[in-house]
Structures are given as structure tokens and as C-alpha cells.
């Protein structure tokens, strides 16, 4: 009965959506890159860079939305590095991605430490506040679960729709889907394979960085080491789970958020019997199981991981 009570509480869903928000940004970013045929394992580092850059911009007085912009630019910068290495130069996407993760993470920590050499506790900023939308936020259940989230969560939900629209309803999305399946089809129609792929990786990386920025500017109010804690990797798995579709990406992220929120609540209920680590593992184990069930039928973008060179077919 306790389990039902947990699942029916508005506070549970509020937490689930909050936990899902950075993942929504991350999965959207990863799927934009992968739809164009580039796996971006830089995601974990780009999350860190976004978290650090956004937070620092606000701390230096840029304002919250200024911080969001700076985070997106930081993501675009590391995305551009990954794109140049993997698209025109055609290097291994795995190796380059891991390299970008290491570079972006270390550079973020370095910048943080250089800017704040001797603080013992991380300085705090004034983060995004929960929205108070007249009427909507007062609705029963959904008012608390959905309409009392922060502006960044709303942005994430809007971006799901925008990404879906761009991919499936615009000529640009058509070209991105084509370049991820068969780059020659794009070249034969006079479009630039490199341009599309680099663009997709840069934009996708900006989205990932917003996921990081959410953590320091909305979920928490400070930057500290190790705070990304594998969220980027989870997004890579969720992208497969979502079969590279924005709508399913949202579902996947919410599912993971729900597992995580559930695990926290379950710990307080039955924590006496089992060590807390078991509960911490739960969302990951469940996402692996979900991946096994779904991903076997997954329809990969066919040119994913395959470098393409001009004048070679």
C-alpha cells in the first residue's frame, strides 16, 4: 500500500520531473548528434562544462538567463572540437568523445579552482525559483507536479517539442535524418555533409550543456566536483531506449526520473532491511533492463559512427 501511496503523491511526480530535466536536455542533445551520424561521448564532460560555465556566469553577475546562454556556448565550444575531430578529420568517435569528456571535465575543475583558489564551501548563487503561474500552478496534483517546476524544466519540455518539429517537419530535419543514414544521399543532392554534421553536433552539445546548467542553476545552487555523476552516460543509454525519437526520449527520461524518485522514497520506507546502495543502483539496473527489452529492436541511424570523406564512395 505504501508503494501506491508513493506513486500517487504529487510530490513524487514533481521530483520525478525535476530529476528527469537534465536528462531530457542530455538525451535531446545526444539524439540530435546521433541522428546526424555522430556519437558524442563528450556528453559527460559537456554536462560538467555547462554546469560550471553557467554557474560561474551567474556568480559573476550575468543573470540567470545570461548563465544559460554562457552554458550553451560552452557546450557549443566543446561540441565544435568533437565535430572537427570526427567529421572532417574522421577520427574515431569513441576516442574523440572520451577525450572531450576528459578535457571538458578537467578544464571546468581547473577554471573553478583557479577562480576560487581557497574557498572551503562552494559559493552559492540565487537559482531559478519554482514558477508560480496564476491558475495553472494552483490546479490540484498537476499544479504541483508540473506547473511549479522551474523555468528551465519548462524550457526542456518545450525543446522536446521543438526538436521533434525540426527533425520531422522541416527541410533541415529531413537533411539531418538523411545524413545520419546515408551521407552520400545528402551530397548527391548538393547539400554539405560536413556542414550538417558539424552543425548538428554543435547544437546537440549546447543542449547537453543546458542539462549541466540545470544542475547548478536550478536543482542546486552551487558547483561542486563530481556532481554530474554519470548523468551524461545515462543519456547515451536513454537515446538508444528512445530509438532516436524526441517523444520517446521524454518518456525515457521521465521513467528514469521516476525510478530515481521512487528509490529515494522507498529507502525511507523499507531502508531498514536493505543497504542504501541497493536503492541507488535501482534506476540504473532498471534502465539496463529497459534497454535490453527495447534496444534489441532499435533502428540505428545507419551511418552512426561511420566517417564520411568527400570524393570517396
CB 64 within 8 A of CB 58: yes
User: Which residue lies nearer to another protein by CB, 117 or 190?
Assistant: 190
CB 153 within 8 A of CB 17: yes
Residue whose entry in the numeric block shows the C-alpha cell 508560480: 132
User: Which residue lies nearer to another protein by CB, 74 or 200?
Assistant: 200
User: Which residue lies nearer to another protein by CB, 67 or 307?
Assistant: 307
Closest approach of another protein to the CB of residue 254, in Å: 26
Q: Where does this chain bind another protein (CB under 8 A)?
A: 169-172, 174-175, 177-179, 181-182, 184-191, 299, 301-302, 311, 313
CB 187 within 8 A of CB 164: no
CB 239 within 8 A of CB 304: no
Cβ within 8 Å of residue 305, ≥6 positions away:
37, 39, 93, 94
Q: What letter does residue 170 receive in the DSSP assignment?
A: S
How far, in Å, CA of 197 to CA of 69, rounded? 22
Of the CA atoms within 13 Å of residue 246, those in its CB half-sphere come to 23
The end-to-end CA distance of the chain, in Å, is 62
Closest approach of another protein to the CB of residue 193, in Å: 11
User: Which residue lies nearer to another protein by CB, 111 or 185?
Assistant: 185
Closest approach of another protein to the CB of residue 230, in Å: 30
Closest approach of another protein to the CB of residue 311, in Å: 5
User: Which residue lies nearer to another protein by CB, 118 or 299?
Assistant: 299
Closest approach of another protein to the CB of residue 23, in Å: 25
Amino acid at each position: 500500500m505504501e508503494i501506491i501511496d508513493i506513486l500517487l503523491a504529487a510530490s513524487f511526480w514533481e521530483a520525478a520531473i525535476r530529476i528527469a530535466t537534465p536528462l531530457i536536455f542530455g538525451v535531446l542533445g545526444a539524439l540530435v548528434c546521433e541522428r546526424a551520424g555522430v556519437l558524442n561521448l563528450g556528453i559527460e564532460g559537456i554536462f560538467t562544462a555547462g554546469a560550471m560555465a553557467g554557474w560561474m556566469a551567474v556568480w559573476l553577475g550575468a543573470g540567470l538567463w545570461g548563465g544559460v546562454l554562457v552554458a550553451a556556448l560552452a557546450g557549443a565550444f566543446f561540441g565544435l572540437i568533437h565535430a572537427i575531430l570526427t567529421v572532417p578529420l574522421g577520427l574515431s568517435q569513441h576516442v574523440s568523445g572520451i577525450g572531450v569528456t576528459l578535457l571538458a571535465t578537467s578544464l571546468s575543475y581547473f577554471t573553478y579552482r583557479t577562480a576560487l583558489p581557497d574557498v572551503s564551501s562552494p559559493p552559492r548563487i540565487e537559482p531559478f525559483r519554482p514558477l508560480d503561474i496564476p491558475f495553472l500552478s494552483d490546479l490540484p496534483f498537476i499544479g504541483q507536479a508540473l506547473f511549479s517546476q522551474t523555468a528551465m524544466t519548462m524550457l526542456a519540455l518545450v525543446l522536446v517539442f521543438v526538436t521533434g518539429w525540426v527533425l520531422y517537419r522541416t527541410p533541415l530535419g529531413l537533411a539531418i535524418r538523411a545524413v545520419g543514414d546515408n551521407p552520400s544521399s545528402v551530397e548527391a543532392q548538393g547539400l554539405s555533409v560536413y556542414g550538417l554534421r558539424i552543425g548538428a553536433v554543435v547544437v546537440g552539445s549546447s543542449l547537453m550543456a543546458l542539462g549541466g546548467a540545470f544542475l547548478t542553476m536550478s536543482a542546486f545552487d552551487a558547483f561542486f566536483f563530481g556532481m554530474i555523476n554519470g548523468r551524461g552516460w545515462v543519456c547515451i543509454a536513454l537515446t538508444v531506449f528512445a530509438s532516436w525519437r524526441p517523444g520517446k526520449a521524454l518518456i525515457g527520461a521521465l521513467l528514469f526520473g521516476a525510478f530515481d524518485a521512487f528509490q529515494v522514497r522507498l529507502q525511507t520506507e523499507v531502508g531498514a532491511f536493505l543497504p542504501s546502495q541497493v536503492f541507488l543502483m535501482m534506476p540504473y539496473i532498471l534502465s539496463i533492463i529497459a534497454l535490453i527489452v527495447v534496444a534489441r529492436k532499435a533502428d540505428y541511424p545507419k551511418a552512426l559512427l561511420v566517417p564520411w570523406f568527400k570524393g570517396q564512395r
